[in-house]
Structure 1
Amino acid sequence: MGKLTGKKVFITGAEQGIGYYSAKNLIESGCDVYIHYFSGSEGPEKLVALAESLGQRASFGYANLTDKDETQKCIENAVEFLGGIDILVNNVGGIIARKWLGEIDSDYWKTVIDVNMTTMMHVTQSALPFLKNANEGASIVNLASLAGRSGGHSGSLTYSMTKGAVLTWTRSLAAELGEYGIRVNAVAPGLILGTRFHNQHTTKESAEDTVKGIPLGRAGTSEDIARTITFLASEYDGFISGATIDVNGGVYRM
């Protein structure tokens, strides 16, 4: 991962879970990182301390990424700190609540779309001028989900729809931005325990049942996803774009 030394990263939702460990892995790979957070600065503060202990640079800032102006300001603060953006990791997302078809109302529908898709549009639009100016090309990594492939568990209809849209967004964006030397890929995690998502929305019994169907016989970890994101970010002279890497222990095979 030596190609990452000195690269400038903007990552969303890195206060815990996949975002936190992805930022940590990128810092340990030699990157300078600006960490967006929404629900707590304890994780970002630890990441800044880690970067400084390694002689690197990291900072963090709050934004509600469903708000275009707040997003733009956060990106501007990141660019002022980093001096540009080489790598964008769109990690923010969530199920909000498990609701079955008959329970879905328009406010919930719009909220899930905003959290999983509108945030990604706002961040990518705001970062685009700086990604275009990256010296050796740039890399965008979007967080999708196994739910976007399989439809997810019962009660995740709206969430699964948005994660399926992230897969298409990634393919379309790869075609649109390729001429600027910007690669766009996605990572689709399966069951990743220890994250806020599953702590809040997955019962112990449901997790145990899911693990029984995983060929590798275990749930994934945030570190499993972080390593994949770091790999996709590092391929500056690579030919991978428009792809989705499925990280699910063998549940989904294509």
Structure 2
Amino acid sequence: MTHLTWGLQGKTVIVTGGAGAIGRAVCEGFAEAGARVAVVDLSQEACDRTAADLGEGHAGFAANLREVSRLPDLVARIESTLGLPTVLVNVAGIILRNPDLLAVTEAEWDAQHDVNLKALFFLCQAFAARLVATGTPGSIVNYSSQGWMSGGFGGSVVYNATKGAVTTMTRGMARSWAARGIRVNGVAPGLVETPMLVNADTTPEQVAALEASIPLGRLGQPADHVGATVFLASDMAAYMTGAMVNVSGGFLMY
């Protein structure tokens, strides 16, 4: 008996936010595991560039995920190009930091909820509908955040409200679709060195303070999330569903 196999060779995997920092690393991991990767992001140029860097057999698909009525068409376009997708990884997300909760606007609320939560739900729905229609098992990996449990900081309260909802929804989907052979799990990153956390306005002192809050002593890197993501999507996690895997260097422990 073979115990250690990804079981991803030749499978079609959708990765949203695939041209971003973590998303690109995740795309690379699935390509290494032998999957065909559908890179989904806002810019067709960025999607195509990422797909080309992965090598042959991958493709880019530009999409505004907030246009939820077009998400079934996105899944259909991917299927017609790369074959029926059986893995969906929802990495795409936005954060609009506002440290003053008294000043948060409806537009800030709506933008984060539309991308981080509403779009994620309806893309999962469109993806799962194709699997159910064809009697095909599959796997979903939703990206949450350590903030689903901590509540967030530095103006990320609304963002982390969406991530708390993603965690809850992941569990609900796992229960709802288990009988259909669709597993649903999640990854909760901690403090990751991407433009969402560290940018031109971030001082070395601020970075040092962030690093000091992490037991492993460093910020996470995009590549740190590849193993957990590919594992959850793979046959090696065949008996896992409804799990939220904490990848935070010990920043959050539960």
TM-score (structure 2 length as normaliser)? 0.91
Q: Is the 8 A contact 1:141 1:185 kept in 2?
A: yes
Residue equivalent to 1:198? 197
Residue equivalent to 1:207? 207
d(CA) in 2 for partners of 1:244 and 1:143?
9
Q: How many residues align?
A: 249
Q: Is the 8 A contact 1:100 1:156 kept in 2?
A: no
Q: 1:49 to 1:228 in 2, by over 3 A?
A: same
Shift of 1:2: 3.9
For residues 39-188 of structure 1, what are the structure 2 equivalents within 5 Å? Answer: 39=43, 41-42=45-46, 44-52=48-56, 57-132=57-132, 137-188=137-188
User: Per the alignment, in what secondary structure is the counterpart of residue 7 of structure 2?
Assistant: helix
Residue in structure 2 matching 1:19, options 14, 18, 23: 23
Q: Give the aligned residue type for 2:40.
A: H
The superposition leaves residues 185-225 of structure 1 with CA deviations (integer Å, 9 ceiling, x where unpaired) of 000000110x2312459723333212101111111111111
Q: Is the 8 A contact 2:141 2:232 kept in 1?
A: yes
User: Which consecutive aligned stretches of 4+ in structure 1 deviate over 3 angstroms post-superposition?
Assistant: 133-136, 199-202
Q: Is the 8 A contact 2:216 2:250 kept in 1?
A: yes
Q: Is the 8 A contact 2:47 2:61 kept in 1?
A: no
Residue in structure 2 matching 1:34, options 30, 35, 38: 38
- Which runs of 5 or more residues in structure 2 are unaligned? none
Q: Give the aligned residue type for 2:46.
A: E
Deviates more, 1:2-11 or 1:65-74: 65-74
Deviates more, 1:169-178 or 1:35-44: 35-44
d(CA) in 2 for partners of 1:58 and 1:134?
23
Shift of 1:112: 1.2
- Which runs of 5 or more residues in structure 1 are unaligned? none
Q: 1:18 to 1:242 in 2, by over 3 A?
A: same
d(CA) in 1 for partners of 2:72 and 2:49?
22
Shift of 1:239: 0.8
Percent identity between matched residues is 32
User: Per the alignment, in what secondary structure is the counterpart of residue 142 of structure 2?
Assistant: strand
d(CA) in 1 for partners of 2:237 and 2:121?
26
d(CA) in 2 for partners of 1:185 and 1:237?
10
Deviates more, 1:169-178 or 1:104-113: 104-113
Residue equivalent to 1:6? 10
d(CA) in 2 for partners of 1:145 and 1:188?
4
Q: 1:151 to 1:44 in 2, by over 3 A?
A: farther
1:234 aligned onto 2:234? yes
Q: 1:201 to 1:147 in 2, by over 3 A?
A: farther
Shift of 1:236: 6.0
Q: Give the aligned residue type for 2:70.
A: E
Q: Give the aligned residue type for 2:88.
A: L
Q: What CA RMSD, in Å, does the superposition of the two structures yield over aligned residues?
A: 2.0
Q: Is the 8 A contact 2:66 2:119 kept in 1?
A: yes
Q: Give the aligned residue type for 1:203.
A: T
